[in-house]
Amino acid sequence: MRTVSWDDRRGELLLIDQRLLPSEFRIARIRTYRETADAIRTMVVRGAPAIGAAAAFGLALAGFQSKADTLPALLRDLQEAADVLARSRPTAVNLTWALQRMLRVAAGYVGTPDKLRQLLLAEAQRIADEDVAINKRMAEHGAALIDDGDTVIHHCNTGALATVDWGTALGVIRMAHEQGKRIHVLVDETRPRLQGARLTAWELSQYGIPYDIISDNAAGYFLRSGQVQKVFVGADRVARNGDVANKIGTYMLALAAYDNGVPFYPVVPTSTVDLSLQHGARIPIEERDPEEVLALQLRGRPVAPEGASARNPAFDVTPARLVTAIVTEKGIVYPPFDLHLPQVIHHP
């Protein structure tokens, strides 16, 4: 099933609860826009494209929740809900992109409130369906970069769980595998929430793709010893100049890849590119609860001493100079990114 889907019969948003994988597969039923915001904030749903689709359905839920019987009143309720949803994860640009797209539908509408509610739901479904099609186009472009016999390092989770379905960087790997290429994946654990060890490894198992889990700080060893041919990652936001914000640890991985001459490829839908930001220093970096770091245990015992403090940035920014190329649904974009990214974004 899809990571993000809509139950027509009950009028509810359905999300795979990613906090429980791989030990338990459970569907979270979301009934309000505030529950949607909470699901995004607590990472029931995660991954920039999946967050965007979930937020779109969350705004549709807000329309159905609203008691407004006039169009201006409904628009006010929708704007209030959009503000709440927008604050749930500040780094992922797909969140604001999806909300703005939904609000444009509302702003341009003339008619009854009930009809607008249905139009918003249809637009959210369209965003979800488009995401699947976009991912498959990205996968086809990116798979051309993978050769038979390659070993690839992958950071975080960018598969079907991070999108509505199929995936971005992991979708590229999956496509190459389905084309018959023999691939081996080294899966960064991706601390502190371990999305690689928990989610990417689980997905690769479903697809039958060979993999090994490695600690994040082992990546440099494998790159320097010549055991890796490519690095593929996702992104939560890409600035105009090609700076890439992605899960914490991506920058260190990119540095090691660059130093050893290994190509480094972010795989991102064009909706993740933020042309309004000239460079990555302007990308807001979410800092999450220190307990995500401090609560780690080894053999049932806390790793950190009692009373310890921690810092927990969720993302870092990889400078464009370390990026070999960016894979999008419109093709592979090479440097200089500040010239080529706008051309790709504006091309029909």
> How far apart, in whole angstroms, are the C-alpha atoms of residue 2 and residue 48?
15
157 alpha carbon, distance to own chain's centre: 8
> How far apart, in whole angstroms, are the C-alpha atoms of residue 289 and residue 124?
30
Same topology between domain 4-135 and domain 141-346: no
pLDDT tens digits for range 214-239: 999 999 999 999 999 999 999 999 99
Task: Please state, as a whole number, how many other Cβ atoms lie within 10 Å of the Cβ of residue 336.
Answer: 11
pLDDT of 348: 74
> How far apart, in whole angstroms, are the C-alpha atoms of residue 257 and residue 183?
18
| pLDDT (mean) for 277-281 | 96
pLDDT of 91: 79
Give the phi and the psi of residue 167 in degrees, each rounded to 5. 115, 170
pLDDT tens digits for range 75-88: 999 999 999 999 99
The single residue of 188, 236, 274, 316 carrying the catalytic annotation is: 236
All structural domains of the chain with their residue ranges: 4-135, 141-346
Q: Clarify whether 150 is annotated catalytic.
A: no
Task: Please state, as a whole number, how many other Cβ atoms lie within 10 Å of the Cβ of residue 130.
Answer: 16
Which residue type is seen at 268?
A: V
pLDDT tens digits for range 165-192: 999 999 999 999 999 999 999 999 999 9
pLDDT tens digits for range 45-77: 998 899 999 999 999 999 999 999 999 999 999
Give the phi and the psi of residue 273 in degrees, each rounded to 5. -85, 125
Strand partners, 203: none
Assess if CATH 1.20.120.420 describes domain 4-135.
Answer: yes
| pLDDT (mean) for 318-347 | 96
Q: Say yes or no to pLDDT of 347 above 90.
A: no
pLDDT of 48: 87
pLDDT of 92: 74
Q: Is 59 helix (H, G, I), strand (E, B) or coil?
A: helix
pLDDT of 263: 98
Q: Say yes or no to pLDDT of 1 above 80.
A: no
**Architecture of the domain delimited by 141-346:** 3-Layer(aba) Sandwich (3.40)
311 pLDDT band, cuts 50/70/90, is very high
C-alpha torsion angle, residues 55, 59, 64, 69 (rounded to 10): 180
Give the phi and the psi of residue 95 in degrees, each rounded to 5. -60, -55
